[in-house]
Chain A
């Protein structure tokens, strides 16, 4: 009988190994056929699903609270050591199960969807790396290890947004998402450092600080207020990657981090209140914004954020089980909806026909009680996506750009070199088109 520690290790390592091996083969110049990649993917996630099932059986039959698998230390530096410990408990297991099941399904979907696409292999490699990263997050026995998974998920997310890199829009949108990720990741990194500083005796003040920092990281990853603006930009990638990242797994990673922060939140109830507030504000704003979205993917993106906001609130309230059930249900619903997004036209016309051409008018429930002018203002607010990006641009981006432009010019001036780009006066239209 294989030990459950080994199974746990294997489930997590499998996608990572597949990524590494296939990448090696590719770099060595092996002619990799689509079919090979598809079969490897199918086997990988079938095995992984079985593995997770075995862990579940093991835990429930033995009544285990958790399974720990230790693989020694990655490295040791003075007093600091980086332990490679994997852990599943009743919070991790559903996440791990969702990851392997949904990645497997999205892999099967993509076998067709991405067929003949020049980036076919790249897509699958990134999918494996993503699954590996997600599994590391969900089974990390320490926050240090969690960061590694966190970065893999962020990186693959950005690379898949920029999947069609021959056009400028996907690249610039991916860059924006990357910037938000990196900015918010500071929270996770600093939080972990703070934890190490206090080591075993975390004071309430430190707990509050750590929770706040982790909330920043979680809000970035899960597109919570005020960072929701990046999510629609992430729709530049191929549909299946939108489904697995922003419908299913990646968007819930922040919620997972918050679940793991529960012990500190309990020590710092004021931050727990803040988590509830962030969640509810996000949910309300996102549902308002979603109401004005006229394209199917943006509308789904905000629908996702809305529910993730509610989930944050649930976690802040301490309703962990409810949050877990909600996450699983939400991931399943949203994945299917994202995968159906290209069929939206077909489905709408069918429903419209079946309803005899009279699908009920939406947007006339409580809105009817609002005065027309208020409704118009609310609509305008929703159309600018609750001004979140506008505010970020004004408060954070613009000053940053001003400072860096200044530094850039100063540097060139000090070196006495002409700048690589030339700043010119804006011509009037007549000149522009002459």
Chain B
């Protein structure tokens, strides 16, 4: 039937338009991804422009920001020259001027930007009032054809749409919020199980509703739809028809309607694609439903709207262009007389060249220069470091080996650990440590996936009380339940009328105690709370259930792992990191996560490799598996020589409070107590130093000892008012895949993801392919999300978090009725340098190209330049940079590699990003 195919096609159109919506799910689990995933098929510089046109966003920082970087030397003239050398050149005035000279003078010179609104003032009073400039301006204006008024045709249309949005958004936002609510409202929305469109229609159709002026007749419109028995798809079509659109306009209108509240529409899309993302209440969501409701409101609002007021302003583009040309020409040494005497063709070419070099184009070149300087600052010192001396080979047996996540925040932790105890070796592996699990801790309400989001776990692992603790755990569980109900009822009741009256009029004043304690001394409050918890609900010893004997299943998944599966995972991580022999007596495996309050974005600070969750259980499981004798046998068969006297210990690093917990320490053989004590002590010292180094970025902290820094870090994670619990990935810029020996002893300023990989142990490039397959999407996702949230914080990001309001437990709004804000807060990105992440991979260009061919996702990132890639030759340390599909040897200007005795000597008293330096004390050991 005709209408069937039509419905099919409207669904197709909606699906197609919806791929532009933000891909952020409920905020409780925050996974970083490329904000412009929909444009990734285009080269970066085209993609950001296309997105800017579609969304009305900024593709780069503004010009003034780049000029400020230039004044500070962060961009240099040589960077501009380098970038221009890669751009097509053309003659403008034969023998006098070419395109690149023009562009260079414009970028390097201090040429101001003008706009139509202030131009007359500039001419009379300010920068253009000088005689010479006035003359040039007059010549240009005359020769370019005088004033060019651009009548604002679109203003009337956009004023209408804006007015309609103002009418329908408060209602639509409230309806969306109520429908998607995960347990915030006392009353859930009625009949949600029928889907958004049906439940809204059922709610609003009955007669007797008092509606706002602008939505008069909405109930009748819904009644009509109900009587006709339309489904959502049909409603969309009918409403589009009512708006007077023919099918050729559908796509355009649908896209506009979806993007008007992209955050809410995007949430419908996310929950449509993955209903399991809903943290508490599974909902039946569909973008089509959303659109049906939205368009119905739109149609009614438009019917009620008789007239709108539109401001009529017309900009005189001609005068602005003339002013710009005049100023640029003078910068190039062309005065008014020279301009006057130019032949017509020359003058036109000059005017065109100036017009083509518009703001976007200038910012693009500035940005490339900005990234080029960063590349120099990183690759130069790295290559120099390698060329300076022989790489440190393994001398004797290390005191301990510690695995960290590849996370940029662990770079400083590893460096400090190596500084504290130079006999310690560190490694970086993706923080789920090869074990993709469906995990439920003893205190968790249900199981969650602890693995990268692209993986679906096939194995279930459960935490259970250890032998002899079962009874105590039962009591604990009951007590926790009871307390939770009491607190929940208290918080719900305090908002109601009668219970609220009892609560506030009688017990209310007691709120002053937690209020005062939490504001004036959050750490004391936290400690007190923990002590009370320990009395009321004492912790129990636990263990993991992860060994499968036969075919047992848990919740439809395999229960734990067989011996072969365990060995495969342990060997995969160890071999991938290049650790196959010379094991220390103790190997620590640290997962990570972050705890903070006053932070709806808390999960964004957790481990990305664990799908935006905390990676402690993965580390604990990994260590427990690696300690099993039968697994060791299998490991040996796979070429990983773990000696019998090596013991693995799992642990957890809280990157906000810098607390470190080691798991199952009591299970460690007594023979290893001394080894464990040594590394435990070193970790303690290292985390204090780490907190100290983090402290340098916080303006709020006034300095002090390592202990004081640790206390400050703890306070941040407990403080009710702290909008920056930690700076998270704020400074990420680099990812180095290679042996630690290539970077050990370098101060990388918490800006580099460090992935352990040894090309020498990987002749078939199998592990390189695996590492890149996992690491490139994760790191690129983080880097690009930070990039876009930084260059346009209000639209790609979610603005300052200070007015944020948690909506329905799925996201944040500004105030009481705004779009659901997606992306990162200003507080997360304020110190971020927006550059595409720079990969340095320790392999040869040939081997890397081969691996890239085998992975389409990685290839897309690289070939479309959404990431920057370089290789470091494993043998010689020579660096090659990927440009325009080929690897070119790195051309360095002489980059300094300063040497200092310790990390603290390098960063003390400085807040800004620091260049790479060589930390001396380590160098001696190496």
State the A residues within 8 Å of B (CB).
101, 105, 108-117, 163-164, 167, 169-170, 173, 232-233, 235-240, 283-284, 287, 290-303, 306-307, 310, 322, 325-326, 328-337, 339-349, 351-360, 362-363, 367, 372-373, 375-377, 379-380, 382-384, 387, 389-391, 393-394, 398, 421-434
Check if B202 sits within 8 Å of A376, measured CB to CB: yes
Within 8 Å CB of B206, what residues of A?
A: 373, 376-377, 380
Of chain B, the residue at the smallest CB distance from A298 is B816
Q: Answer whether residue B114 sits at the interface, using C-beta atoms and an 8 A cutoff.
A: no
B714 to chain A, nearest CB (A): 15
- Interface of A, secondary structure class, is helix
- List residues of chain B with CB within 8 A of the CB of A329: 504-509, 511
Q: Scan residues 518-533 of chain B and give those whose CB is less than 8 A from a CB of chain A.
A: 518-520
Given known A-B contacts A164-B800, A173-B815, A340 and B511 have beta carbons under 8 A apart: no
Residues of B within 8 A of A424 (CB): 156, 159, 307-310
A300 to B808, CA, bound (A): 13
* Stretch of B81-89, B174-182, B265-273, B645-653 that contacts chain A: B174-182
Complex CA distance for A233 and B520, rounded to whole angstroms: 30
B599 near A342 (CB under 8 angstroms)?
Answer: yes
Q: Is the CB of A296 within 8 A of B488?
A: no
Q: Is B368 an interface residue (CB 8 A)?
A: no
* Chain A residues near B501 (CB-CB < 8 A): 307, 310, 326
- What residue in chain B is nearest A302 (Cβ atoms)? B495
Q: A29 vs B508: C-alpha distance in the bound complex, in angstroms? A: 44
Rank and list the top 4 A-B pairs by shortest CB-CB distance, nearest first.
A329-B508, A357-B445, A429-B243, A303-B495
CB distance from A79 to the nearest CB of B (A): 45
| A343/B504 contact (C-beta < 8 A), A109-B721, A110-B721 known | no
Choose from A116, A425, A428 the contact partner of B699 (Cβ within 8 Å).
A116
A345–B503 CA distance with the chains assembled, in angstroms:
23
**A394: B residues at CB distance < 8 A:** 212-213
**Residues of B with C-beta under 8 A to A291:** 185-187
Question: Which B residues are CB-close (under 8 A) to A398?
Answer: 213
Q: Which residues of the partner chain A approach B27 to less than 8 Å between Cβ atoms?
A: 345
Query: Other than the known A113-B721, A351-B488, A359-B484, what 14 A-B pairs have Cβ atoms closer than 8 Å?
Result: A169-B817, A291-B185, A303-B500, A329-B506, A333-B511, A337-B494, A342-B599, A346-B599, A379-B187, A380-B206, A383-B175, A383-B178, A424-B309, A433-B253
Most buried by B among A111, A296, A358, A382: A296
Q: Tell me whether A113 and B487 are in contact (CB under 8 A).
A: no
A426→B178 contact, CB < 8 A: no
Taking a contact as CB atoms under 8 Å apart, the answer to whether A117 and B183 are in contact is: no
Known: A237-B803, A332-B508, A346-B599. A115 touches B723 (CB 8 A): yes
Number of residues on chain B facing chain A (CB within 8 A): 124
CB distance A380 to B203 under 8 Å? Answer: yes
B627 within 8 A of A: no
Decide yes or no whether B378 CB sits under 8 A from chain A.
no
Check B186 against A426 for contact (C-beta < 8 Å): no
**Interface: B256 (CB within 8 A):** yes
Choose one: A116, A335, A342, A354; the contact of B481 (CB below 8 Å): A354
Contact pick for B310, options A307, A353, A389, A421, CB 8 Å: A421
CA of A291 to CA of B483, assembled, Å: 23
Q: Is the CB of B210 within 8 A of A387?
A: yes
Known: A291-B186, A363-B188. A383 touches B174 (CB 8 A): yes
Q: Whole-angstrom distance between the alpha carbons of A115 and B721 in the complex?
A: 10
B 391-413 binary contact with A (CB < 8 Å = 1; else 0) = 00000000000000000000000
Residues in A whose Cβ lies below 8 Å from that of B503:
333
Chain A contacts of B492 at CB under 8 A?
362
Partner-A contacts on B (CB < 8 A): 27-28, 156-161, 174-175, 177-178, 180-181, 183-191, 202-204, 206, 208-213, 240, 243-246, 249, 252-253, 256, 279-280, 302, 305-312, 443-446, 477, 480-481, 483-485, 487-489, 491-492, 494-497, 500-501, 503-512, 514-516, 518-520, 596-600, 602, 699-700, 719-724, 794, 799-809, 813-818, 827, 830
Can you list 24 residue pairs at the A/B interface with Cβ under 8 Å?
A: A115-B700, A169-B817, A235-B805, A235-B816, A287-B497, A306-B496, A325-B505, A329-B504, A333-B504, A333-B508, A339-B518, A339-B721, A345-B600, A348-B183, A348-B809, A349-B279, A359-B183, A373-B206, A379-B203, A398-B213, A424-B310, A429-B249, A432-B160, A434-B157
Residue in A closest to B699 when the chains form the complex, CB atoms: A116
Q: Which residues of A contact B500 (CB under 8 A)?
A: 287, 303, 306-307
Given A343-B599, A343-B720, A429:B496 Cβ within 8 A: no
In the bound complex, CA of A373 to CA of B191 (Å)? 11
The distance in angstroms between the C-alpha atoms of A306 and B310, with both chains bound, is 41
Query: Which B residues are in CB contact (< 8 Å) with A322?
Result: 505
Given the complex of chains A and B, what is the CA–CA distance between A429 and B27 in angstroms? 35
A105 to B161, CA, bound (A): 44
A293, B185: Cβ atoms under 8 Å? yes
Chain A: minimal CB distance from B833 (Å):
17
Question: For B180, what are the chain A residues with a Cβ–Cβ distance below 8 Å?
Answer: 294
Bound-complex Cα distance A360 to B308 (A):
49
List the B side residues contacting A426 at CB < 8 Å: 160, 302, 305-308
**Contact of A352 with B280 in the complex, beta carbons under 8 Å:** yes
Within the complex, the shortest CB–CB distance from A395 to chain B, in Å, comes to 11
Bound complex: CA of A163 vs CA of B814, how far in Å? 12
Of B204, B212, B279, B445, chain A has the most CB atoms within 10 Å of the CB of: B445
B718 to chain A, nearest CB (A): 11
How far is the CB of A309 from the nearest CB of chain B, in Å? 8
Using CB atoms, name the residue of chain B closest to A429.
Answer: B243
Contacts of A295 in B (CB 8 A): 177, 184, 805-808, 813, 816
Shortest beta-carbon distance, A326 to chain B, in Å?
4
Contacts of B159 in A (CB 8 A): 424
Q: Is the CB of A353 within 8 A of B509?
A: no
Q: Chain A: which residue is nearest B240 at the CB level?
A: A429
Name the residue of chain A whose CB is nearest to the CB of B506. A329
Q: From residue A334, how far is it (CB to closest CB) to chain B in Å?
A: 8
Contacts of A367 in B (CB 8 A): 187
In the complex with contacts A339-B721, A398-B213, A427-B160, A363-B504 CB distance below 8 A: no
Partner of B307, one of A306, A336, A423: A423
In the complex, the answer to whether B186 meets A427 with C-beta atoms within 8 Å is no
Please tell me which one of the listed residues B186, B208, B600 contacts residue A342 in the complex, with CB atoms under 8 A apart: B600
Q: Which of A238, A292, A353, A429 contacts B444 (CB 8 A)?
A: A353
Separation of A336 and B800 alpha carbons in the complex (Å): 22
List, in ascending order, chain A residues with CB within 8 A of B213's CB. 393-394, 398
In Å, the complex CA distance between A116 and B699 comes to 8
A302, A345, A359, A390: the one within 8 Å of B212 (CB): A390
Known: A329-B509, A376-B202, A421-B311. A294 touches B496 (CB 8 A): no
| Cβ of A27 to closest chain B Cβ, rounded Å | 25
B388 to chain A, nearest CB (A): 40
CB of B843, distance to nearest CB on chain A (Å): 42
CB atoms of A114 and B802 under 8 A apart: yes
Residues of A within 8 A of B520 (CB): 105, 108
Chain A nearest Cβ from B580, distance in angstroms: 40
Residues in A with CB closer than 8 Å to B156 are 424, 427
Contact A294 B178 (CB under 8 A): yes
B183 touches A423 (CB 8 A): no
Contacts of B309 in A (CB 8 A): 421-424
- For A375, the closest partner residue in chain B by CB is B190
Complex: how many Å from CA A77 to CA B700? Answer: 52
B488 touches A284 (CB 8 A): no
Cα separation A384 to B514 with both chains bound (whole Å): 35
What are the residues of chain A within 8 A of B794 when measuring CB–CB? 167
Interfacial chain A residues near B599, Cβ < 8 Å: 342-343, 346
Contact among A111, A380, A421 with B204 in the assembled complex (CB-CB below 8 Å): A380
Interface centre among B444, B509, B599, B721 (most CB of A within 10 A): B721
Residue of chain A at shortest CB distance from B443: A353
- A290: contacting residue among B186, B191, B210, B799, CB under 8 A: B186
In the bound assembly, the distance between CA atoms of A390 and B252 in angstroms comes to 33
CB distance B720 to A340 under 8 Å? yes
Chain A residues with CB under 8 Å of B497's CB are 283-284, 287, 306-307, 310
